[in-house]
Structure 1
Amino acid sequence: MKNFLRLSVLIACAAVVYADKVTLKDGRVFEGEIIEEDADHVKIKTAKTALAFKMAEVASVEKGMSPLQERAKRLEALDGETGAAYLETAQWIVDSPKEIHDEKMLRRLCNAAAFLDPESAAAAQNVLGNWLLAGGKRADAAEAFARVLKADPNNANARKQLETLNTEIVAKARKDLEVLRKALIPLRELKWAEAIPLMRKANKLYFADKCQEYVKSTIDELADDLQRRVPCPSCKGAATRPCTVCKGKGLTECVQCLGKGLRRSAPPKPTFAQEICTHCYHTGNLLCTGCDAERWLTIHFAAEVKGKKSVDIKIASGVEKVEISKFVSMSKWTSRDGNVKVTAISPGAVVKGGTFTCRECKGIKFDPPATEVNTFGITDYLNAIDARLEGKEKIEGVVIPETPYDAEEIADKKFMWKAGKWE
């Protein structure tokens, strides 16, 4: 009850703290949110309406703290010892605008409250559980309600929530096991190509983490191993595919100069600055943006610039102008200091581009490993899955943990908020 009263006072005070205030010269005071302000007038939105005043009428304008500033103030006031204060801060954040909600911060606050003050543990985990539940994180919410029951075994609401969520969790786990089983069956039958796309979708399923235990590799590692054994139908095992935009060249013809590198309307006997195509920079072509191509360019000067008459630069598609402008004034086509003219720009070979990583095989080249696939481990893994689907082994939902707090969330034991981080 004491915690509830303290929370009520804090929340009520917070409403006053971050209200903006306009005081008129006649003594009237209006509180709310200032929505417009300039040298001539101020407009404030109160609980009932929006009011505008000329600055000639205004004695003072006071702006309260934003919710983020208020959150920082509350965090900085935490002493590292009083668990109830961490609970109060977590509850205040939950009751505040969503712009200041932060899951990582709420998890730390609620678990710190439960760790520092056993009497606050049930309430803290309940705050976290309800917030996670409202955000659709039902499995995480179940873990929080399980910790409520660890702190308060007689909490009927937490028990009901956990039972409901565990029913959902077990039902989903059964569906996951069925999908995982379908992915593993082709493996046991040595149908690698059929198994690969199914394995790619199975890495986050329930019981997928047990693959390491039975097969001695993760689901992703197993899928990658299979991909090395089967030529990808899209790239023929090369791991890359030609870019369809540039036809594998890494370059596309300049549409402004039609590949000549020169302006179409240059004067007779033009200077370099007058004749250069500003679209392709005298090269006649552009790096392909479809495959993130790169190449070298050589910029030639009429005289030495920092001891050299030319400079080699590496440029990437989409940022040619940025890279060239580091060495050249492109408005005059001179060196950056404006003293030496540019006489030519020579394109070098494309060093990257023309292809892109094959998405179907994730860039894994056909290169069959010498080792065999662990089919015995896969069989054991399938047997373990079948045992759960057939009811021989129990599919566990979330169980009541050993402590009313998540030790991983506060493993660093940093409970003081200083300069925007936990210390």
Structure 2
Amino acid sequence: MKRFLATLACLAFCLFAWADKVVMKDGRQFEGAIVDETDEIVKLKMSKGTIPIRKSEIDRIERGTSGIQDMEARLEALTTDNPSGYVDLAAWCIEQNLGDPPTIRRLANIGIALDDSLASRGNSLLGDYMLAKGDRGLAATYYLRAYQADWKNAALRHKLQEHKEALAEERIKQVTTLRDGLQLALDSKWEDAIRKLQAARETPMADQIGTYSATYKSFALLLADLRARVPCKTCSGTLTVKCLTCKGVGNRSCTPCGGKGRIRKTVGGRPEETTCTTCKGSGKLRCEKCAGKARTACPSCKGIRPASASTLDVRGLKALKDAADARTRGSLPIEEQVGPKLPKLGLTVYDEDLVDDGRYYYAKGEWVSEK
């Protein structure tokens, strides 16, 4: 968070025109950002520091809005009812040269998590963005995800083929991450292991875990077993969170009838009461997202109570770790990584580690789970 705020500050005073201009009575002009103002003094923050200026010496102040302020306002206006708004804002930030990579990646991934039809567009956008940033490996990974969501798209296939070498290099990094994650699991460092293994979940070696372990037939089972050893931080083990759609209200009062269930109308010059057609006489409107319960399944644990952790398959995990280690040393060939595997065609993918915390709203300079 501190790094993000520092980035915002840097962008505010380096990349964009100053928001405010102070024109003095003697003709001098100062540009900066007004950080404090009293009846007598205006404090203007400039590139070389903050200076106080007497209002008696000021002819006029031309106030403006900086790019950062505009971005902050747009971030705070985001709502989960409009998933495409997150991807749109990510695209706008890229176009305006605003924000940092973690913020832009989070925006696009939240949009995809809320609406999987945005997977192709969101991942393709991130691929182009990371490529412009010089990270060809991560760019190729995003192109692969976009292609998995829209595998008939010839343009995406071309991009994927174009960055074949970079994708292979990225996969080597993922195999290394897989190896390190398995070692952390063997060392009983559950949370660190989960983070590492989630980052390596797309490497084909992750799908081969059933070959090495009799306990974990799939990589998902391994992650589930490790998560069972760590309580969910988002919901504190309750499995539910406040509904994002109704803000935890559930059933709200019907506005047309004021919650009475009936509406007064004038028919033939005579006042009559009729049943409210909006709430059908109940006086309440039920939130469709949570079915009026005010809470929904936790986005992190998906509302699923983890099964009791099984006995850790030390032998199987060590065997997979040794195989991954051999591949990073070049003892075994890295699998061909260009193009998705057939079982994954059309699968929506996104950075789960960026959205698993359920913090989809932005307020007062940070991401929050509710407003």
Please tell me whether Structure 1 or Structure 2 has the larger radius of gyration of its CA atoms: 1
TM-score strictly above 0.5: no
* TM-score normalised by structure 1 residue count: 0.37
